[in-house]
């Protein structure tokens, strides 16, 4: 009862204090808000970049890089893209629980029943069916296609919204670059930050794809490769790549444990060695397996500049706290009389400390609210200058909580020294 | 009620050591009204600050209402100040943007009283000083005398054992000063123990005992006959000594 009443009394004192020096408190709040806002915006970027996009099995999903380049100018590192027959060799292995072989493409899409001739520029993932279970792709309607061949597609939520207003479009037919394919599944809104299954070529922060098509169908239809590829042979189109030394397919497998990983490594090494012995490549056997987080780390998905800027933001926040502390010190100095009076009539140092901390917490809450708005603005601004950040410049709920906590901590930190000084005032000095 | 034995208070900076109180001893009994006089810088205010637990002392013993204050922690000292002492300052020390009610209510907040108990005490205290109708006024809307009466109400609201007044009429004209002194005398008649620092010899003569402080020491004390202004005997000395131990007796 007593502590409740003191809590509300301290709250009213804090509000009174704000009213007495609104400009000064506004400056303190603004100073801290800018510091927290900038740091929070950077943390939002780092959080998106460094987070685990599929924590439930990120240690089981393995990206495969191989070293089977047949030419006389081999790459320094094993290649993250494989040729068709290498990829199929992996896909036919029964060691992995699941596997996915895919490449990125693009088509123009329209609903064949639509009276409009408008076509939507759509990103395509030409993939084996294992992709969906491997990546835990969430289905809103229908299901995955079951074969590598077939005039069937799964579409993403965004394209479904654009073409079918978000309704169940399973069974509808899409015209994709002049070919008719039936929708068998529609995904829910699906965000992967980073887009681990295609973390190369600066695509780690792209959205998930619009269309998922059977791999063999896409190859047969000649849907072009919209990602990095390398080839030691000439080929006319993607449909001509199956038996060529054209490297463009990414391969992921799902391995349940280290034993399977070890078996997979041996399987790849044996295969690579056989190719070498057959004279297909002159290179040392070097095949690499990386789980999701290892792969994101190898690909340096977390931008070092953003990290550096985050460290700079921490230092900037420290300067903001110092400035806010100086302003609060002047405020507390001006309030020496009241501190002395309250102490004289019975307030203990503890009372004054709690009163000061209540004020700081309240200030911290206001600061947090403003900081989060500023943080959102900073992110919007950063996207203006760096459009590639568009899909990661988001304030997730945990960042909102972190921002509020940061604001509270900084507000309290900036009040600590002024409070310490205020508690050392000689009570009688200000009273006559 | 208040017992000080050989209290010393020394202020020191880099170059100067100032003995504000030297072996200061005083015993004030319950119900006494003691005036503390002396020249400026003699240590009167230091005595009052030490007595009111607003300042530390370096040597000696001090007992307030049977509680030895040496070694008490800040929380305990604050509770003693809150429960046993009422302060009346020369400058009233009211918070300008608080209403009269809120100013008087302040010490009660730290006492943990319920809202209804605080309201009752504030109204009673303001009733005693004749300002019960001004609860919502701001200090700036009152005269100096009225402000000092509010300060007295604030000191009274917690029903302290002792009132410490530091030149309570120093900023008032003679009429308002008279009103304030009458309130203090009434309170004393009602049993309140009061120690008042004053420069005014007439006021000093009005009270039951006058102690004089010079160079931080108790230099003199006089005990006066009970005040009866109607008979004009105020200031009649019935006892005079320089021996502080006799004062204790």
pLDDT in tens, A229-280: 998 888 889 999 999 999 999 999 999 999 999 999 999 999 999 988 888 8
Same domain, A135 and A219: yes
Same domain, A234 and A373: no
State the Cα angle at B88 between B86 and B89, rounded to 5°: 140
Task: With CB atoms and an 8 Å threshold, state whether B87 touches A427.
Answer: no
Same domain, A253 and A381: no
- Identify the domain containing residue A350 by its residue range: 2-52+303-430
Q: What is the pLDDT of residue A77?
A: 84
The sign of the torsion formed by the CA atoms of A94, A99, A102, A107 equals positive
Q: What is the pLDDT of residue A50?
A: 84
Same domain, A340 and A411: yes
* Cα A304 to the center of its chain, rounded Å: 15
- Write the Ramachandran bin of A392: left for phi over 0, alpha for psi from -120 to 50, otherwise beta: alpha
Tell me what the pLDDT averaged over chain B comes to. 85
| Choice between A414 and A336, residue whose per-residue pLDDT is larger | A414
Which of A231, A252, A286 represents a domain boundary (last residue)?
Answer: A286
Q: Are B140 and B191 in contact (CB under 8 A)?
A: no
Select from B78, B91, B93 the Cβ nearest to the Cβ of A347. B78
Same domain, A222 and A368: no
- Is A297 among the domain residues? no
Cα nearest neighbour of A350 on chain B? B75
What count of CB pairs under 8 Å joins A to B? 77
How far, in Å, CA of A403 to CA of A405, rounded?
5
CB-CB neighbors (< 8 A) of A9 in chain B:
109
- Is B173 among the domain residues? yes
- Identify the domain containing residue B228 by its residue range: 2-93+162-248
- Is B118 among the domain residues? no
How far, in Å, CA of A104 to CA of B16, rounded?
85
Select from A2, A346, A350 the Cβ nearest to the Cβ of B82. A346
- Is B201 among the domain residues? yes
> Can you give the pTM of this predicted structure?
0.76
* Average pLDDT of span B21-41: 90
Instruction: Let me know if A54 is exposed, middle or buried by CB neighbors in 10 A (0-12, 13-18, 19+).
Output: middle
- Is B25 among the domain residues? yes
> In total, how many domains does chain B have?
1
pLDDT for residue B249 is more than 50: no
Same domain, A183 and A264: yes
Select from A9, A337, A432 the Cβ nearest to the Cβ of B90. A432
Tell me what the pLDDT averaged over chain A comes to. 91
Which of A232, A253, A286 represents a domain boundary (last residue)?
Answer: A286
Q: Are B184 and B194 in contact (CB under 8 A)?
A: yes
Q: What is the ipTM of this complex?
A: 0.86
- Is A102 among the domain residues? yes
Q: Chain A closest CA to B66's CA: distance in Å? A: 19
CB-CB neighbors (< 8 A) of A345 in chain B:
81-82, 87, 106-107, 110, 154
CATH number at residue B38: 3.40.50.300
Q: What is the pLDDT of residue B81?
A: 93
Instruction: Judge whether B138 is closer than 8 Å to chain A, CB to CB.
Output: no
Q: What is the pLDDT of residue A109?
A: 94
Same domain, A37 and A75: no
CB-CB neighbors (< 8 A) of B112 in chain A:
2, 5-6
pLDDT for residue A32 is more than 90: yes
Q: Chain B closest CA to A342's CA: distance in Å? A: 8
* Average pLDDT of span B184-201: 89
- Is A294 among the domain residues? no
- Is B119 among the domain residues? no
How far, in Å, CA of A247 to CA of A228, rounded?
9
* Average pLDDT of span A75-93: 91
> In total, how many domains does chain A have?
2
- Is A298 among the domain residues? no
Same domain, A334 and A202: no
Torsion angle defined by CA atoms of residues A383, A389, A394 and A398, in that order, rounded to the nearest 10 degrees: -130
- Is B50 among the domain residues? yes
A131-135, B132-136, B227-231, B234-238: least confidently modelled range? B234-238
- Is A141 among the domain residues? yes
Same domain, A181 and A308: no
Instruction: Judge whether B91 is closer than 8 Å to chain A, CB to CB.
Output: yes
- Is A382 among the domain residues? yes
Instruction: Judge whether B18 is closer than 8 Å to chain A, CB to CB.
Output: no
Select from B45, B87, B91 the Cβ nearest to the Cβ of A345. B87
Select from B78, B89, B115 the Cβ nearest to the Cβ of A432. B89
Q: What is the pLDDT of residue B225?
A: 53
């Amino acid at each position: 009862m007593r502590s409740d009443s003191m809590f509300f009394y301290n709250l009213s004192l804090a509000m009174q204090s704000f009213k007495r020096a609104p400009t000064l408190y506004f400056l303190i709040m603004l100073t801290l808000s800018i510091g927290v806002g900038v740091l929070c915006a950077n943390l939002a970027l780092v959080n998106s970049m460094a987070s685990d996009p599929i924590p439930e099995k990120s240690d089981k999903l393995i990206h495969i890089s191989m070293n089977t380049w047949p030419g006389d100018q081999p790459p320094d590192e094993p290649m993250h893209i494989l040729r068709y027959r290498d990829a199929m060799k992996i896909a036919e292995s029964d060691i992995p629980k699941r596997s996915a072989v895919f490449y990125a493409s693009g088509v123009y899409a329209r609903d064949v029943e639509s009276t409009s001739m408008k076509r939507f520029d759509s990103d395509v993932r030409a993939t084996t069916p294992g992709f969906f279970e491997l990546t835990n792709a969430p289905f809103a309607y229908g299901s995955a296609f079951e074969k590598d061949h077939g005039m069937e597609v799964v579409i993403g939520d965004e394209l479904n919204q654009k073409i079918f207003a978000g309704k169940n479009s399973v069974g509808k037919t899409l015209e994709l670059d002049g070919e008719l394919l039936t929708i068998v599944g529609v995904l829910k809104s699906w965000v992967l930050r980073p887009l681990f299954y295609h973390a190369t070529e600066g695509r780690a922060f792209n959205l998930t794809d619009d269309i998922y098509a059977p791999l063999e169908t896409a190859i047969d239809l000649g849907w072009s490769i919209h990602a990095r590829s390398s080839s030691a042979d000439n080929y006319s189109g993607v449909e001509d790549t199956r038996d060529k030394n054209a490297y463009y397919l990414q391969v992921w497998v799902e391995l349940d444990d280290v034993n399977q990983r070890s078996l997979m490594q041996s399987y790849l090494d044996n295969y690579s060695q056989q190719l070498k012995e057959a004279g297909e490549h002159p290179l040392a056997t070097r095949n690499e397996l990386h789980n999701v987080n290892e792969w994101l780390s190898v690909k340096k998905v977390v931008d070092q500049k953003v990290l550096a800027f985050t460290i700079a933001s921490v230092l900037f926040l420290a300067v903001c706290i110092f400035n806010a502390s100086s302003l609060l010190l002047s405020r507390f100095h001006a309030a020496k009389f009241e501190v002395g009076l309250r102490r004289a009539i019975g307030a203990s140092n503890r009372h004054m400390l709690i009163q000061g901390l209540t004020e700081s917490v309240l200030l911290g809450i206001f600061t947090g609210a403003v900081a989060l708005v500023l943080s959102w603005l900073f992110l919007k601004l950063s996207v203006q200058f760096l459009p590639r950040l568009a899909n990661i410049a988001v304030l997730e709920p945990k960042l909102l909580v972190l921002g509020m906590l940061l604001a509270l901590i900084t507000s309290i930190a900036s009040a600590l020294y002024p409070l310490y000084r205020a508690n050392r005032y000689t009570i009688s000095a200000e009273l006559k | 009620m208040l017992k000080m034995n050989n209290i010393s208070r020394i202020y020191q900076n880099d170059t100067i050591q100032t003995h504000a109180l030297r072996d200061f001893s005083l015993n004030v009994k319950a119900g006494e009204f003691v005036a503390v006089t002396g020249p400026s810088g003699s240590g009167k205010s230091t005595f009052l600050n030490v007595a009111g637990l607003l300042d530390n002392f370096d040597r000696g013993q001090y007992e307030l209402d049977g509680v030895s204050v040496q070694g008490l922690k800040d929380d305990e000292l604050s509770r003693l100040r809150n429960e046993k002492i009422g302060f009346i300052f020369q400058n009233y020390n009211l918070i300008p943007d608080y209403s009269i009610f809120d100013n008087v209510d302040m010490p009660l907040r730290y006492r943990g009283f319920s809202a209804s108990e605080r309201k009752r005490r504030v109204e009673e205290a303001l009733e005693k000083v004749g300002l019960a109708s001004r609860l919502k006024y701001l200090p700036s809307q009152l005269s100096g005398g009225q402000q000092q009466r509010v300060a007295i109400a604030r000191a009274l609201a917690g029903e302290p054992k002792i009132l410490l007044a530091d030149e309570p009429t120093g900023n008032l004209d003679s009429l308002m000063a008279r009103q304030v002194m009458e309130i203090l005398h009434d309170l004393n008649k009602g049993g309140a123990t009061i120690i008042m620092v004053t420069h005014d010899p007439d006021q000093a003569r009005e009270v039951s005992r006058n102690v004089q402080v010079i160079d931080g020491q108790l230099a003199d004390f006089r005990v006066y006959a009970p005040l009866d202004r109607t008979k004009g005997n105020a200031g009649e000395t019935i006892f005079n000594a320089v021996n502080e131990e006799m004062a204790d007796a």
